């Protein structure tokens, strides 16, 4: 049986991870889709919890074996993807699945599951604010920082292709409340239909 998909995308530093974590706390039937990535593990991240960390070779091998529902080379040489088995496992457990994913991956999931998914774009106030947030987060080396800012500029052009846009400006509580309401209504649809 297929469950629902809550697809959350937006540039690095837009606040989407905070929003996804919050939604997981509010709606117990939601489960996080753990992606695979070939990027380096950050401090505090756990393999099998935040991501399944793979080498580029392992990742490519899994692409060739058709194990991904979707995958993208989000940054040059760095791959991210959703395992088919991850989503199937959660649906079998009667959960709905929430994704923190890049804009192209989000578009693909929406295309595969148009009726049972909601795609939400998290819109940051500006590229300058994004850059400040990313700097504060201190997770990136200067090279990767630049990569993320360039990617963010590209990602912003995808906003209008999403079902919904949430503006995450200066009031995080208001943003979280808006996300709660949106996702709550979407998940409700299921019990009513
Ligand atoms: P980060 O390195 O900051 O964890 O993630 C970088 C970007 O990759 C983010 O936009 C994140 O949402 C995206 N991402 C994470 N998992 C996946 C995935 O499974 N597929 C795709 N297409 N993008 C992903």
Domain holding 13: CATH number?
Answer: 3.40.50.300
175 lines ligand 1 (CB under 6 A): no
CA 17 to ligand 1: nearest atom: 12
Distance of CA 9 to the CA centre of its chain: 5
Residue 156 makes CB contacts below 8 A (sequence gap 6+) with 11, 123, 127
Bridge partners (DSSP) of residue 98 are 6, 32
162 lines ligand 1 (CB under 6 A): no
Compute, in angstroms, the gap from residue 8 CA to the centroid of ligand 1. 10
Domain that holds residue 64: 5-192
- In this structure, are strands 117-123 and 30-32 parallel, antiparallel, or unpaired? unpaired
Q: b/e for 68-79, b at 16 or more Cβ within 10 A?
A: bbbbbebbeebb
Mean pLDDT across the stretch 130-159?
A: 87
**Alpha-carbon gap, residue 29 to 3, rounded angstroms:** 10
Cα(36)–Cα(53) distance, integer angstroms: 6
79 and 56 Cβ atoms separated by less than 8 Å:
yes
Whether 96 has a pLDDT exceeding 60, the answer reads yes
Q: Which among 73, 85, 100, 156 is the best mutation to test ligand 1's pocket, defined by most ligand atoms within 8 Å of the CB?
A: 100
Cα atoms found within 13 Å of the Cα of residue 71, Cβ hemisphere only = 22
pTM of this prediction? 0.93
| pLDDT confidence band for 192 (50 / 70 / 90) | very low
Hey, which of 44, 63, 74, 122 would you mutate to test ligand 1's pocket, going by the most ligand atoms within 8 Å of its Cβ? 74
Rounded to the nearest integer, the mean pLDDT of the chain is 93
Positive/negative CA dihedral, 136, 17, 125, 107: positive
If one counts the domains in the chain, the total is: 1
Give the mean pLDDT of 51-67: 98
pLDDT mean over 61-82: 97
SS3 assignment, position 96:
strand
Give 1 or 41, the one with higher predicted confidence.
Answer: 41
The residue whose CA is least distant from atom 15 of ligand 1 is 101
């Amino acid at each position: 049986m297929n469950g629902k998909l809550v697809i959350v995308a937006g540039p690095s530093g837009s606040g989407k991870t905070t929003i996804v974590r919050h939604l997981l706390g509010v709606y117990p039937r939601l489960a996080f889709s753990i992606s695979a990535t070939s990027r380096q593990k950050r401090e505090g991240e756990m393999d099998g919890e935040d991501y399944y960390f793979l080498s580029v070779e392992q990742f490519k091998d899994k692409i060739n074996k058709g194990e991904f529902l979707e995958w993208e080379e989000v940054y040059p040489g760095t791959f991210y993807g959703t395992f088919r088995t991850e989503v199937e496992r959660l649906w079998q457990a009667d959960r709905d699945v929430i994704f923190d994913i890049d804009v192209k991956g989000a578009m693909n999931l929406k295309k595969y599951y148009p009726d049972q998914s909601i795609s939400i774009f998290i819109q940051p106030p500006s590229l300058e604010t994004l850059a400040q947030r990313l700097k504060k987060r201190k997770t990136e080396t200067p090279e990767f920082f630049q990569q993320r800012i360039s990617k963010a500029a590209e990602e912003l052009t995808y906003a209008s292709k999403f079902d919904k846009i949430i503006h995450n400006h200066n009031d995080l509580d208001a943003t979280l409340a808006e996300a709660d309401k949106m996702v709550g209504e979407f998940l409700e649809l299921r019990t009513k239909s």
